[in-house]
């Protein structure tokens, strides 16, 4: 598939892979007599110690993982977290270190997962294998960064700086950052919704080396122009891992992301410091924001779609599988036709199990119900559609489909802007290099369009 690793419709949007962790076995795995201090042959065990974050990639889909290695009694032990599946602290087995090579296993009954990687500095990357399905994985050593003061009260008194803010939900806390301008008077506020997969509130992903800080730059640029903003880690991502809905991926629905955005909107509407609320969604966040805006009864000032898909998810998946064998295409078509009807499919081939396994089908059913063009066409507030010409993941055609569905929307194509909102050439390698470079500014003209739109909507 073209640009599988970074193509958002399948790789990021589903955000789960065929790591067949049967959650019914989680307690069994935690309690079973697995020796967590496995013999390692390399004497330099301490080079593995610490917290590592990254993801598995299988058939273009990505699943965030967190791995902790420790040395106990001269041997190496480890655990793995799989937030999207509600799995935390699963013990790893058969850890073997022959530096720079590292092997470890997740002993899932009947579906053992094998990781074979190479340690290079603070990064481990290599091959992933489970039930005959091959993929890759990459994790980087991370150090927890100090965060600002967290407040449960939405009315944070500090001015001119960013502060953590929490959204309480029935399943846990969703962590966000409130960025306020220097001026203390009433001002507009923009709710910034991140894209798919493990993308955090700043626009960064552990799947990509380095940071681009694109969403953080938007927030800072808005503050410099008298506009406040809130950006947040979606449930299951970043600091909001604990808010993962339910105890398995089978409990998660696309609607949960939409409802979270609605809750943020209502909260900001009720805050007397803000003169109006505008929703800005990037990539998958575009659809989340648009759908959320349609659920808000009144009081929303505007919606901004940045690099948002213009087609339903099942069409995007069909495009992703276009270069696969005919048998794969035919089977996937049949499965998606059933999912579109709300029917789950019991029999799925091994090749398509990563994408259509039973536990993720409820999520897909809920996601397939949303048509971005139909959703944006239903909005009764001002709309701005922004798209870059060098975006490797979403095309200008998507933006035009959204604009066609909403004729009174303002469509602005930013020449030379890529998916992380930086100025970049169309060359694949050079384009991707910008994904991990926080020193690059936002593409010229992009932030100015947002500021102008917000000030026009909120007078």
Residue 153, pLDDT score: 37
Mean of pLDDT values over 89-117: 84
Residue 12 has pLDDT above 70, yes or no: no
Which one, of 198, 105, 133, 127, lies nearest residue 354 by Cα? 133
Mean of pLDDT values over 321-346: 94
Q: Provide the pLDDT confidence category of residue 43 given band limits of 50, 70 and 90.
A: very low
Cα(427)–Cα(338) distance, rounded to whole angstroms?
39
Cα(224)–Cα(228) distance, rounded to whole angstroms?
9
Mean pLDDT of the chain: 83
Query: What SS3 string covers the chain?
Result: CCCCCCCHHHHCCCCCCCCCCCHHHHHHHHHCCCCCCECCCCCCHHHHCEEEEEEEEECCEEEEEEEEEEEECCEEEEEEEEHHHCEEEEECEEEEEECCEEEEEECCCCCCEEEEEEEECCEEEEEEEECCEEEEEEEEEECCCCCCCEECCCCCCCCCCEEEEEEEECCEEEEEEEECCCCCCCEEEEEEECCCCCCCCCCCCCCCCCCCCHHHHHHHHHHHCCCEEEEECCCCCHHHHHHCCCCCHHHCCHHHHHHHHHHHHHHHHCCCCEEEEEEEEECHHHHHHHHHHHHCCCCEEEEEEECCCCCCHHHHHHHHCCCCCHHHHHHHHHHHHHHHCCCCCCCCCCCCHHHHCHHHHHHHHHHHCCCHHHHHHCCCCCEEEEEECCCCCCCHHHHHHHHHHCCCCEEEEECCECCCCEECCCCHHHHHHHHHCCCCCECCCHHHHHHHHHHHHCC
- For the domain made up of 8-142, the CATH class stated in words is mainly beta
Q: Provide the pLDDT confidence category of residue 367 given band limits of 50, 70 and 90.
A: very high
Output the CA torsion sign for 418, 422, 426, 432: negative
Residue 83 has pLDDT above 70, yes or no: no
Mean of pLDDT values over 82-100: 77
Residue 27, pLDDT score: 28
Residue 239, pLDDT score: 86
- For the domain made up of 150-312+370-457, the CATH class stated in words is alpha beta
Output the CA torsion sign for 385, 390, 394, 400: positive
Residue 110, pLDDT score: 55
Q: Which one is predicted more confidently, 272 or 238?
A: 272
- What does the domain layout of the chain look like in residue ranges? 8-142, 150-312+370-457, 314-361
Residue 311 has pLDDT above 90, yes or no: yes
Mean of pLDDT values over 410-425: 97
Mean of pLDDT values over 426-454: 94
Q: Which one is predicted more confidently, 20 or 139?
A: 139
Mean of pLDDT values over 99-109: 84
Are the C-beta atoms of 17 and 23 separated by less than 8 Å?
no
Mean of pLDDT values over 237-252: 77
Are the C-beta atoms of 46 and 99 separated by less than 8 Å?
no
Q: Which one is predicted more confidently, 439 or 27?
A: 439
Distance, C-alpha 98 to centroid of its chain = 34
Range with the lowest mean pLDDT among 17-21, 221-225, 399-403, 412-416?
Answer: 17-21
Q: Is 87 left (phi over 0), alpha (psi -120 to 50) or beta?
A: beta
Per-residue pLDDT tens for 123-167?
999 999 987 788 899 999 885 443 333 333 333 334 467 888 999
Residue 220 has pLDDT above 80, yes or no: yes
Are the C-beta atoms of 262 and 295 separated by less than 8 Å?
yes
Range with the lowest mean pLDDT among 67-76, 390-399, 415-424?
Answer: 67-76
Token pair listed for 90: 């699963």
Listed in sequence order, the residues at least 6 apart from 24 whose beta carbon sits closer than 8 Å to its beta carbon are none
Mean of pLDDT values over 294-307: 95
Residue 236, pLDDT score: 80
Cα(27)–Cα(49) distance, rounded to whole angstroms?
25
Token pair listed for 338: 């059933």
Residue 459 has pLDDT above 50, yes or no: yes
Token pair listed for 201: 């509130």
| Percent with pLDDT over 90 in the chain | 54
Residue 30, pLDDT score: 32
Range with the lowest mean pLDDT among 48-52, 221-225, 291-295?
Answer: 48-52
Per-residue pLDDT tens for 166-205?
999 888 899 999 999 987 679 999 999 999 877 899 999 8
């Amino acid at each position: 598939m073209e640009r599988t690793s970074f193509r958002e419709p399948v790789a990021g949007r589903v955000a789960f892979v065929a790591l067949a962790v049967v959650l019914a076995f989680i307690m069994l795995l935690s309690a079973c007599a697995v020796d967590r201090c496995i013999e390692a042959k390399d004497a330099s065990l301490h080079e593995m110690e610490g917290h590592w974050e990254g993801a598995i990639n299988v058939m273009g889909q990505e699943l965030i993982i967190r791995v902790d290695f420790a040395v106990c009694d001269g041997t190496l032990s480890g655990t793995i977290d799989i937030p999207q599946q509600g799995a935390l602290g699963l013990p790893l087995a058969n850890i073997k270190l022959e530096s720079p090579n590292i092997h470890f296993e997740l002993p899932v009954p009947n579906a053992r997962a094998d990781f074979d990687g190479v340690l290079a500095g603070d990064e481990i990357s290599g091959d992933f294998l489970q039930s005959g399905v091959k993929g890759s994985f990459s994790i980087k050593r991370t150090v927890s960064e100090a965060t600002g003061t967290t407040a449960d009260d939405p009315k944070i008194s500090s001015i001119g700086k960013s502060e953590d803010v929490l959204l309480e939900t029935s399943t846990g806390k969703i962590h966000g950052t409130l960025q306020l301008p220097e001026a203390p008077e009433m001002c507009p506020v923009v709710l910034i919704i991140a894209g798919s997969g493990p993308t955090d509130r700043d626009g960064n992903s552990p799947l990509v080396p380095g940071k681009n800080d694109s969403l953080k730059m938007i927030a800072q640029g808005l503050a410099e122009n008298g506009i406040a903003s809130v950006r947040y880690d979606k449930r299951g991502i970043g600091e909001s891992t604990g808010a993962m809905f339910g105890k398995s991926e089978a409990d998660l629905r696309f609607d949960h992301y939409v409802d979270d955005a609605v809750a943020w909107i209502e909260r900001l509407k009720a805050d007397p410091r803000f003169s109006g609320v505008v929703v800005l969604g990037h990539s998958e966040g575009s659809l989340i924001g648009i759908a959320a805006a349609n659920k808000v009864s009144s009081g929303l000032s505007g919606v901004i779609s940045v690099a948002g898909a213009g087609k339903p998810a099942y069409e995007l998946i069909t495009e992703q599988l276009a270069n696969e064998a005919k048998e794969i295409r035919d089977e996937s078509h049949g499965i998606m036709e059933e999912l579109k009807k709300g029917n789950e499919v019991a029999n799925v081939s091994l090749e398509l199990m990563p994408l259509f396994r039973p536990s993720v089908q409820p999520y897909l059913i809920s996601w397939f119900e949303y048509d971005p063009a139909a959703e944006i066409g239903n909005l009764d507030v001002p709309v701005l559609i922004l798209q870059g010409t060098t975006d490797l993941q979403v095309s200008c055609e998507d933006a035009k489909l959204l604009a066609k569905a909403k004729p009174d929307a303002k469509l602005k194509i930013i020449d030379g802007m890529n998916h992380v909102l930086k100025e970049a050439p169309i060359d694949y390698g050079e384009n991707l290099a910008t994904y991990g470079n926080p020193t690059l500014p936002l593409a010229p003209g992009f932030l100015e369009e947002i500021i102008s739109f917000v000030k026009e909507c909120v007078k």
